Structure 1
Amino acid sequence: MTDPIRKALVVRGGWEGHAPVEITGLFLPYLKDQGFTVEVSDSLDVYTDEVLLAGTDLIVQCWTMGAITPEQSRGLTAAVRAGTGFAGWHGGVLDAFRGDLDYTQLTGGQFLMHPPGFVDYTVDIVPGGHRITEGIGAFAVHTEHYWMATDPANEVLATSVFPAGGDRAHDVVMPQVWTRAHGAGRVFVSALGHKADDFDVREVRAITERGLLWASR
């Protein structure tokens, strides 16, 4: 007996600075290799297709900035609450649809700022043995360093440190990768992945791929 085919929906667009087509393209072969059929949408109107979303096991979103209509937002959040997984990285989920509180509650965080340019920092893995980070230790990256407002209910899997200085009187530990439940749906979010070569870092690629699978229904 063969396993049932899973369905993934990749929703991409918005600000081109995050290269939504190029970077989501890095993961299309992987999803297909994992047994997903993959549909790609360049329109947020897909979030109003209740039948399509009900039959989707995983939504991968890379849509920076932009606006989501109330109907689109309701469709997305209702689908995840009913069990469709939701996953994404960096500004494609964390700097999207500012002001839509239902969407922010879905993702569990929102981008606020980053220091100018690309910086070197270390991503630390939170102990606890989550399968997304199993066997992965601390690693270095050179990219944007996201400062975010995050939901304390998130299950944080990886963090980084913003060192004391300027307006910060002390070091600040900032979540960088987390999971959360939204109704019956699973949500995976990573702040890493501004540019395509960020995923050349073995650990970034592995965490992202594992996160996509974990979030799937």
Structure 2
Amino acid sequence: ARGLKITWQLPAGTRSEIIDDEVAKLLVQSGCRSLNLAPESGSERTRKHMKKMLTDEKLFRAARAATRNGLNVGIFLVLGYPTDEPVDMKATAKMCRKLARVGVDDVSAGFFFPLPATEIFGELQQQGRVVLDDDFLKLPIYVHNKYMSPDRNYNPNMSAREMTRWKYRIVAGFYFNTLLFHPGKVFRILWNFLRGRETSKMESFLQETKRKFSFRRSERRGRSGRPEVPTV
């Protein structure tokens, strides 16, 4: 915090244990505008299986400290971990609703894929559910797809369709609670969308959707206005 005229952010998942009021205040003074927390799941049972030593208490303490000091806060979720059951998804949905009430700005929900050299990767490989080939190496591309396909579902307890439903249920619950408890955030998102600004994941998503829609519309116009080529 030396008065430098710069702004920066922590885009990757930040360890919740280190964020308190003192740290959050120093981050803001240094020019930090946003950070992301990565609980990955609202189920402590699932987090223990992931070897994440994160408790709900530490997560909410960090979220409150960050929002209280004016940081834009996002959370990362991983849906479809192999041990997940509906009860774990319910815990994740509940956690997201509570984080929205605290004042967290964004939620990003991606589908699980096994990272090589991790314990869960080894387990799935031994079970014959993972083959390290070119198709597997493409999996990160599909993490944030709109829906999960059956061939990329590593969870034996829920179908790909169920996982997709949970994704939208969790995200919708988060933003609905944001609207209820922090309506100003929703109006800010809409205002920034109209101005073409991107200060949050939701705003980036809306701008990207707008760009795709405009591109497709211009393509359709181009095709409709294209003169017919006479056949010989």
* Class of the TM-score when normalised by the shorter of the 2 chains: 0.3 to 0.5
Structure whose residues are more often helix by fraction: 2
Task: Considering Cα pairs closer than 8 Å and 6+ residues apart, tell me whether 1 or 2 has the greater RCO.
Answer: 1
Task: Tell me the TM-score normalised to structure 2 length.
Answer: 0.31
Indicate the structure (1 or 2) with the bigger Cα radius of gyration. Answer: 2
Structure whose residues are more often strand by fraction: 1
Task: Tell me the TM-score normalised to structure 1 length.
Answer: 0.33
